[in-house]
Structure 1
Amino acid sequence: MNRFNLPLSSPLSLLFAPLLVFAPFSNAHSASLCHALDDVLVPQLTIENELAPIEINADEGESIDKDTMLFNGDVEILRGNQTLNADTVRYTRPNQRVQADGNIIYREPDFSLFGHSADINIGTYEGEITAADIHFPLMHARAGADTIILQGRKTIRLVNGSYTTCDVDDNSWSLTAPRIKLDRTKDVGTAYHATLRIKNIPVFYTPYINFPLSDKRKSGFLAPSFGSSGESGTEIILPYYWNIAPNYDATITPRYLAKRGLQLQNEFRYLSKRSSGIASIEYLPNDDLFDDDRSLVRLQHDTTFSRQWSGSLLFADASDADYFEDLGDSLSITAITHLERRADLSYSGEWGQLLARAQDFQTINDTIPAASRPYKRLPQLLYSTALPTYQNIASQLRSEWVQFDREDSVTASRFDIQPTVSRRYSRSWGFFEPKLSVRHTQFQLDDQADGVDSNQTRTLPISSLDGGLYFDKSLALGKRAFIHTFEPRLFYLNVPFDNQNDIPIFDTGLNDFTFEQLFRDNRFSGGDRVSDANQLALAITSSLIDDESGDELIRLALGQIRHFRDRRVTLNGGAAETDNTSNFIARINATPSSRWRASGEWQWDPDNEDSVETTASLQYRPAPDRGVNLSYRSVDSQLLEQTDVSFFWPVTQRWRAVGRLNYSLERSRTLESFAGLEYESCCWRLSFVRREFVNDVNADDESNTAFLIQLELKGLTSIGGSIDTLLENGILDYQR
């Protein structure tokens, strides 16, 4: 039988090729677990549908009257980006009404409708389809209903419907309701008197719920988490995300702790043209174990007043010393002893950089004596500038004025200024840079010790010579070409001795000895001490570079300082340092391929012929969804020796194992460990983790044990939860 073809607009027929409009998932792994909901190609036009002609193809067609036509047998209606297929179609020309029966398939570029019968106005995108299913391939979502109502291009209503993101014939979970609205303008679905079903079994009812129709932010419940620990008992976390406005949102998290009570956590984020910030509060009324209210408040605010001026505010306050130990969720958090409060005003422009700061600390550990607590800076002014370079001569100025205050302690104001001039000579084969600076510091002390002058002044010249050579040569290993570099460097520093024992310590400490410390002009941080020096640092750096890609495959650095006199300046008037040489330090970084990365740093004490500090790490990352991390650290002065092993690795396409072990070799105990499994299907994900941790690494207390469970229904709950946070903090480069 010949096909009946009837163009229903201008005689200029439009010929077009079907275009595939399906898009891949944003998460490639999730996409690989799903089957395509619709594999039929959808026609795509570059002109508006309202201007496109209507074309009807069918096995048979007849005119009922001048405005109405009847088509039978494999009917196909084409109009711009719309297609409709059916067994029988009654078409009314003036209002573009289509009444169709049998094997209905109606398609637009981003969804497909299937049903028994349809009454649709293809001009206004309005109509009804009975016994219908709808597929959204871009979102991998589908719905079914007794009746699906189209209300224009962007609104779809379901009567006695269901919604899920699972594959066809997979009912792992679904949301059913007598009324469901899909608003594609806001990318939000809304269900009234809804029931959540797991494997067709009703498990949860709510009179109202909304859910996302895209990856855009929207209000709704996030992934719930369940856990248990010996100290707090069963734990249930149910966060709710509130998308207040495009630039404001909040996460409200009820956290139930069986042995303590109900804690409420709230995090508010905001963003404006000039400002951004996060405000959070955690509140646990009448902790059953602590017998008092517990709370934590945090605020971080950043603002820009102009191109030159900006400001920031940082505030934190905890109700008690044990808050982080009892209610924190990681080893690093439970070790917190001080909370910083700070207000900054900054300028950066042609005149230099200025910082005005007020800084205070809350010491949450009451056992820390007053003399060991940090000083307040009320206020602190920092200014630095650099003059334009003239004939390779660089001039810089750094200055500070600060007022230190602490209860029952010496207080002071400190003025510190350091002008510097240097000249750098650079060639392709090396460089040479002499530098001279003068550091003047003045202290005005209050409540100082008897016999100590309240006015302390220190003025010291600081001179240095820095120079290095560059050597390189080409190498061939097999079929690969490399460049081998060799860079020796000498750094001479001279600072005369000045007795500084009468100056108290306000904010100064001894810098860690690292490779960078070889080339610094002070062994101390802060302005209370300037180290005396007559020393020469020798360093050698060598690297191997792939000649084709330019990637650095390995870099090795070695260095040591030779002292020509004792270092008499110390922090608290201790004995002078008399060693003729510093520790020998070595550093290596290697990236032999995109999968492997290694680094390490090692210090050797030549006098005692002993290793004093070692750090090493190895990372294997063959693919984004898997990785193994190994690290080791040993510091003799801190009696510290630890190993850290972590991994995330797929066992099968759907199962993945995660784990971490942070172990103290010095104390022969586990500091933190966890192990877990994740199962992920096309439309849901379940995670289970068992965790052990200690609150104080130096105490012999028993470790805490916690069990965490997290369930995510994709497309109904958003990504997040305490397990995700634990894995991101505990496993280097963890990626879902």
Structure 2
Amino acid sequence: MRLTVAFLIFTGLAMILLSTQSFAESLSDNSASRCLPELITPLQKIPAQPSGSIAAQDTPAPQNLEADELTQPSTNTYQLTGAATFKQPGLVVLSDKMLYNKTEKTADFFGNVELHQPQILITAEQAQLDENSQTATLKQTEYQILPSRVYGQSKQIVINQTNENAQLDRASLTACRRQADKSVPWDLKFGELHINNQTRRMVGKNTTLYFKDVPIFYTPYFDYPLDDRASGLLFPEFGSYKSLTQDKTMSYLKLPYFFNIAPNIDDTLTVMPMTQRGLALDNEFRYLGKHGNATHNVVLDVTALQDQLVVEDRLKNRWRTSLNASQNWGKGLTSDVLWHEVSDENFFADIPVNPALNTVTQTERHIQLDYRQGNLHSYAQILNHLRLRDAVPNYEKMPEIGIDYSRQVDHFRMDMQANATEFAMSNIQHSNPEALRVHLQPALEYQLRKPFGSLKSTIVANQTQYQMHENGFNNTGESSINRFVPQFALKGALMFERQLELFGKHYTQTLEPQVQYLYVPYENQSNLPLFDTATRSLAFSNLFTLNRFTGSDRIGDANQVASALTSKLLNDNGRQIADIGIGQIVYFSDRQVMLTGNIPDRSAVSDIFVKLGLNLPKLYFSSTIQLTPDDYRLTNSNSRLKWQPNQNNTVLLNHLAQNQGTNSETEVISLGGFTRINHEWEVGIYANYDLQNDQLFASNMGLRYDSCCWAAEIVAEHTQLINGLYNDSIQIQFELKGIGTANQSFKNDFARKLNF
């Protein structure tokens, strides 16, 4: 008896319905047993399928028929009654009764029909298979895809193996586990559903989306892709905001549509209606490609709006464009582009397309080319800032070209750094000098390292030339300025270790004294412009820097000894558990080189620097403190505390105090936290508070409900803009698991905030 018809048709059904597997890709994160829907029928043991397609082999697949009773009503008909079972590799079919006509090559299954294949289950009241027409008809069915267990019902399923398509009448589909009352949180119901494996599309007619048994969306035509990356609607976002230029809070709705152009190219067009302002179109184009040895990554954002709120016609057409691209050309050559352009300085404050820029006054733009080969690094870049609201004048590097080379020979190390930078202020009114600066910085270093310590001597020669531009603001009095300043440093360090036991565990404690003598002769630099130079920010390592200024416009004179004593606690694996350090600089001469003015610093010693650190599995703490040497008064501090008892709970605290006891003192505290209350609920908070002025800079609160098959989140933000004005905004997102994924603004926003 030859019954290969069953395997052929059911294999075709599996190929077609399994194409909806990607329909539930978003369930992959919720694959725990609590989230998986129940099986529609207990799994059967399926005979193993040999490698290769059985249908393609000339020899029929081995088959096994079992039943309580086998009869032959006619010459061409066989009837199996009572627990009829059909088995062959890769397939098991169960039914109460089975009829097989060997002449017409048809098989009919009646009563409690079950079809089992490795990746699909189907139950039906009746099934008919026709080998000649390569079709199958199943009535009153329920189907389920494994392992995601997405399932649905259909009054009738008709499969055409030749065309690789299936038609489902009055079908439903859901990815949700049934509740105690047999209901599901959401499901899709179709008048007709066509699944085409050749075109990789699923098309529904008269489709209704039900949420909690309430119809919330209807469309006469529903077109959904069967692949992971395919065109289609993404989840919308609803929000409200108030910008600096507005008197009232406005609302917006983001409706994104994703275009799958190619596996490495896509485009997302977002239609964003806004109350009062009108309709904005926001488009994101992404490209990832490889051509030979070169790779390219491109993201292009464009937004356009004819603002109905603006009175002046010349300002109505508002737009922005942003290009973020990186390339690896091979053989050490890379490039990077980050560029923004806007129609006006208030664009990001008024249009909620980039929350990271809605309160900033400027943002960096650059084009850079890098070449690295062994010890050689060279680069060329253009760097400036997009000026937004209330931006202060900033120098641009138009361009900067640099080269770095290092070479190690035994204990000697040679470094050569050279750069030429054109400093300009383009397209803005200003009264600042401009110049071409060429800076050479060769250095020679000799270092001895031993297990008990190290000794290092360093000689640096700083040669700088300025070619001043006669833009009317050259206050140096010269067209060309040369400066040469050498630096010499000798640094020694020792390391002592001891073993100790704390709380029943073994540790290694180190004691590490460090001393550095630094000599830099005085060179009058008060006539030099300040392009990219400032005082260094608070850091314990600044005790041993060769220049107390950043940048190249000032080389600080020095005749000093810096000393520090640090101690570390290491576990058996060598991981640092804790550290503590204290250091100070003793000056043998006044410091005459200043950023501005000519009043020297005559203090004999520097402030005292203290650092504390703790790095436990659940607790991290780091603090650097600067104290006055006479009365130990706090002048600067930066402290950060992170407590993370598990992956679902995080608390971060940061305290920053600057210039205490002066007219420019600031003190800011930032606090943030994230917790998963249970399997469904997550909450996050963030606040940034100015203790000096008793003002709240920013606060955020987010709440997310995330069940196995649907999620909703709301994020509220309160951000200071200027002069006591605040932006109050709310974003709301809703997501149905199995249909697609949302941007998850809640998690993304708090991940950004908690990295302060």
TM-score w.r.t. length of structure 2: 0.86
Q: Deviations over 1:283-325 (max 9, x none)?
A: 2212415762332211011112221222222210122222233
Does the Cα contact within 8 Å between 1:331 and 1:694 map onto a contact in 2? no
Amino acid at match of 1:196: L
Query: 2:260 aligned with 1:217, yes or no?
Result: no
Amino acid at match of 2:305: L
Amino acid at match of 2:234: L
Task: State the shift of 1:186 in Å.
Answer: 8.5
Q: Deviations over 1:648-670 (max 9, x none)?
A: 22334323333222222222232
Q: Deviations over 1:610-632 (max 9, x none)?
A: 21222323323233233222332
2:177 aligns with: 167
Query: 2:610 aligned with 1:586, yes or no?
Result: yes
Does the Cα contact within 8 Å between 1:212 and 1:716 map onto a contact in 2? no
Name the CA distance, whole Å, in 1 between partners of 2:267 and 2:26: 30
Give the 3 Å change call, closer, same or farther, for CA 621–53 of structure 1 in structure 2. Answer: farther
Name the CA distance, whole Å, in 2 between partners of 1:655 and 1:457: 65
Task: State the shift of 1:385 in Å.
Answer: 0.8
Amino acid at match of 2:686: R
1:334 aligns with: 358
Moved more, 711-720 or 328-337: 328-337
Give the 3 Å change call, closer, same or farther, for CA 314–116 of structure 1 in structure 2. Answer: same
Give the 3 Å change call, closer, same or farther, for CA 560–68 of structure 1 in structure 2. Answer: farther
1:662 aligns with one of 667, 678, 688: 688
Unaligned runs of 5+ in 2: 5-20, 243-247
Give the 3 Å change call, closer, same or farther, for CA 710–74 of structure 1 in structure 2. Answer: same
Does the Cα contact within 8 Å between 2:538 and 2:636 map onto a contact in 1? no
Q: Percent identity?
A: 24
Name the CA distance, whole Å, in 1 between partners of 2:498 and 2:36: 53
Q: Which aligned pairs between 1:251-650 and structure 2 lie closer than 5 A?
A: 251-273=268-290, 274-288=295-309, 292-328=316-352, 333-350=357-374, 352-365=376-389, 367-368=390-391, 373-387=393-407, 389-407=408-426, 409-447=432-470, 449=474, 452-547=477-572, 549-593=573-617, 595-607=618-630, 609-636=632-659, 638-650=664-676
Give the 3 Å change call, closer, same or farther, for CA 391–675 of structure 1 in structure 2. Answer: closer
Name the CA distance, whole Å, in 2 between partners of 1:566 and 1:307: 50
1:114 aligns with one of 111, 120, 123: 123
1:14 aligns with: none
Task: State the shift of 1:126 in Å.
Answer: 5.2
Does the Cα contact within 8 Å between 1:331 and 1:695 map onto a contact in 2? no
Task: State the shift of 1:477 in Å.
Answer: 2.4
Does the Cα contact within 8 Å between 1:222 and 1:720 map onto a contact in 2? no
Amino acid at match of 1:82: L
Does the Cα contact within 8 Å between 1:600 and 1:614 map onto a contact in 2? yes
Moved more, 456-465 or 607-616: 607-616
Name the CA distance, whole Å, in 2 between partners of 1:529 and 1:106: 81
Give the 3 Å change call, closer, same or farther, for CA 200–490 of structure 1 in structure 2. Answer: same
Amino acid at match of 2:541: E
2:720 aligns with one of 694, 704, 720: 694
Moved more, 259-268 or 188-197: 188-197
Give the 3 Å change call, closer, same or farther, for CA 294–560 of structure 1 in structure 2. Answer: farther
Name the CA distance, whole Å, in 2 between partners of 1:648 and 1:404: 44
Task: State the shift of 1:252 in Å.
Answer: 1.8
Moved more, 179-188 or 631-640: 179-188
2:28 aligns with one of 21, 26, 29: 26
TM-score w.r.t. length of structure 1: 0.88
Query: 2:263 aligned with 1:246, yes or no?
Result: yes
Does the Cα contact within 8 Å between 1:341 and 1:359 map onto a contact in 2? yes
Task: State the shift of 1:457 in Å.
Answer: 0.6
Name the CA distance, whole Å, in 2 between partners of 1:621 and 1:177: 47
Task: State the shift of 1:266 in Å.
Answer: 1.3
Does the Cα contact within 8 Å between 1:299 and 1:315 map onto a contact in 2? yes
Task: State the shift of 1:474 in Å.
Answer: 1.6
Moved more, 626-635 or 452-461: 626-635
1:712 aligns with one of 713, 727, 735: 735
2:10 aligns with: none
1:73 aligns with: 82
Moved more, 152-161 or 349-358: 152-161
Q: Which aligned pairs between 1:77-92 and structure 2 lie closer than 5 A?
A: 77-92=86-101
Amino acid at match of 2:651: V
Name the CA distance, whole Å, in 1 between partners of 2:86 and 2:521: 93
Task: State the shift of 1:270 in Å.
Answer: 0.7
Task: State the shift of 1:202 in Å.
Answer: 2.3
Task: State the shift of 1:567 in Å.
Answer: 1.7
Q: Deviations over 1:225-270 (max 9, x none)?
A: 2223454422222222222211111222222221322222211111
Task: State the shift of 1:199 in Å.
Answer: 2.7
What is the DSSP-based 3-state SS (H/G/I as helix, E as strand, rest coil) of the residue aligned with 1:507? coil
Give the 3 Å change call, closer, same or farther, for CA 484–172 of structure 1 in structure 2. Answer: same
Query: 2:86 aligned with 1:61, yes or no?
Result: no
Does the Cα contact within 8 Å between 1:253 and 1:265 map onto a contact in 2? yes
2:138 aligns with: 129
Give the 3 Å change call, closer, same or farther, for CA 463–149 of structure 1 in structure 2. Answer: farther
Task: State the shift of 1:430 in Å.
Answer: 1.2
Amino acid at match of 1:43: I
Name the CA distance, whole Å, in 2 between partners of 1:635 and 1:328: 33
Does the Cα contact within 8 Å between 1:359 and 1:376 map onto a contact in 2? yes
What is the DSSP-based 3-state SS (H/G/I as helix, E as strand, rest coil) of the residue aligned with 2:350? helix
Amino acid at match of 1:487: E
Name the CA distance, whole Å, in 1 between partners of 2:79 and 2:736: 45
Does the Cα contact within 8 Å between 1:139 and 1:213 map onto a contact in 2? no
Amino acid at match of 1:490: V
Name the CA distance, whole Å, in 1 between partners of 2:627 and 2:131: 81
Give the 3 Å change call, closer, same or farther, for CA 95–554 of structure 1 in structure 2. Answer: farther
Does the Cα contact within 8 Å between 2:240 and 2:250 map onto a contact in 1? yes
Amino acid at match of 1:660: Y
1:47 aligns with one of 30, 45, 50: 50
1:12 aligns with: none
Name the CA distance, whole Å, in 2 between partners of 1:446 and 1:90: 98
Name the CA distance, whole Å, in 1 between partners of 2:87 and 2:677: 48
Give the 3 Å change call, closer, same or farther, for CA 532–334 of structure 1 in structure 2. Answer: farther
1:199 aligns with: 212
1:147 aligns with: 156
Amino acid at match of 2:689: Y
What is the DSSP-based 3-state SS (H/G/I as helix, E as strand, rest coil) of the residue aligned with 1:26? helix
Q: Deviations over 1:111-159 (max 9, x none)?
A: 2111111124699995232111111242241122122234559755422
1:16 aligns with: none
Moved more, 419-428 or 474-483: 474-483
Moved more, 43-52 or 471-480: 43-52
Moved more, 668-677 or 158-167: 668-677
2:253 aligns with: 236
Name the CA distance, whole Å, in 1 between partners of 2:755 and 2:44: 42
Name the CA distance, whole Å, in 1 between partners of 2:32 and 2:133: 36
What is the DSSP-based 3-state SS (H/G/I as helix, E as strand, rest coil) of the residue aligned with 1:238? strand
Moved more, 298-307 or 441-450: 441-450
Task: State the shift of 1:641 in Å.
Answer: 2.1
Q: Deviations over 1:562-620 (max 9, x none)?
A: 22222211223342222333332223332323x32222222222246321222323323
Give the 3 Å change call, closer, same or farther, for CA 67–400 of structure 1 in structure 2. Answer: farther
Give the 3 Å change call, closer, same or farther, for CA 500–227 of structure 1 in structure 2. Answer: same
Amino acid at match of 2:487: I
